[in-house]
Amino acid sequence: MNEAEFRDQLVTVLPRLRRFARGLAGNATQADDLVQSACERALSRQQQFQEGTRFDSWMFRIVQTIWIDQLRARAVRKEDGSEIDEERYGNDEPVRQVEARLALAEIRQAMSRLPEEQRVVLMLVTVEGYSYREAAEIADVPLGTVMSRLARARAALAVLLDQGRGLPGSHDNATARR
């Protein structure tokens, strides 16, 4: 793969990298910073990409590695997720989208409350559609770990969603949790 092909591949995978990063970081600015760091690292280590392997997997791995590194370095913690919500609710969207947006915000918030390592595999498998084996390679963990993290992540989501939905006045409850 020459330089131009490499950059083409990079551009093609950008939207998915942004989606993945948004899932990890929560807010758009932090997510795009993460994508930028990953792209810069990829460009500086082009020669490390192995021909015949999947370029997107390689990029996702870089994104998640940098994200975990950043978490460790900055000890980023999101106890209440208020910062994220501000951004998610700050957009002026048409009224018809508000309902869908509330549901979306709820599920995103539920996802943001998951432990980092669960969120990574959830994003990789459920959102990005990677197989367990691919996700294990990207996240650099054993296959069995992917399975257990996925199961726990989804079980936790199911519980959080139940809390936010099934009860009367569920939206008020959801608001209170913020």
Partner 1 sequence: MQQQDDRRDLDERLVAFLDGEADEAEQAAIIALQETDPAIRTRLERLAQATELARGAFDDVLDEPVPAHLLALGRAPAEAEPASSSAIILPFRRRKPKPKQPGKAWRLGRLKDSPLAGIATIAAMCVLTIGLTVSIFGNHIPYQPVDPDMPMATDMGSRQVASANAVAPDTGLGSAGWMDTVAGYHNLFISSARGAENTVFDVTPHTENALPGDVRVPNLGVWGLEFQGARRIVLDGKPAFQFFYRPDQMADRQAGTTPATDSAGGITHTSAQPPAAKPPAGNKPVGSKTAAGKAALPVTLFVTTGEQSFDRPERPPTFQHRDNVNLTYWRHRGHGYALVGQADKGWMFSVANDIAYQTGAH
Among 68, 152, 163, 170, binds partner 1 (CB under 8 A): 152
Long-range contacts of 46-51 (CB under 8 A, 24+ apart): 46/3, 46/6, 49/1, 49/6, 51/1
Applying CB under 8 A, the span of 2-10, 47-55, 59-67, 77-85 interacting with partner 1 comes to 2-10
Residues near 150 by beta carbon (within 8 Å), at least 6 away in sequence: 118, 121, 122, 125, 126, 132
If binding is defined by CB under 8 A, does position 145 make contact with partner 1? no
Give me the phi and psi of 115, to 5 degrees please. -60, 145
User: 75: which residues sit within 8 A by CB, 6+ positions away?
Assistant: none
Tell me how far, at minimum, the Cβ of 118 lies from partner 1, in Å.
Answer: 11
Which positions from 53 through 112 interact with partner 1, judged by CB under 8 A?
94, 103-104, 107-108, 111
Site for partner 1 in 114-143 (CB under 8 A): 122-123, 125-127, 131-132
Backbone angles phi, psi at 159, to 5 degrees: -65, -50
Residues that bind partner 1 (CB under 8 A): 2-5, 7-8, 10-12, 14-16, 18-20, 22-23, 32, 35-36, 39-40, 43, 94, 103-104, 107-108, 111, 122-123, 125-127, 131-132, 147-148, 150-152, 154-155, 157-158, 161-162
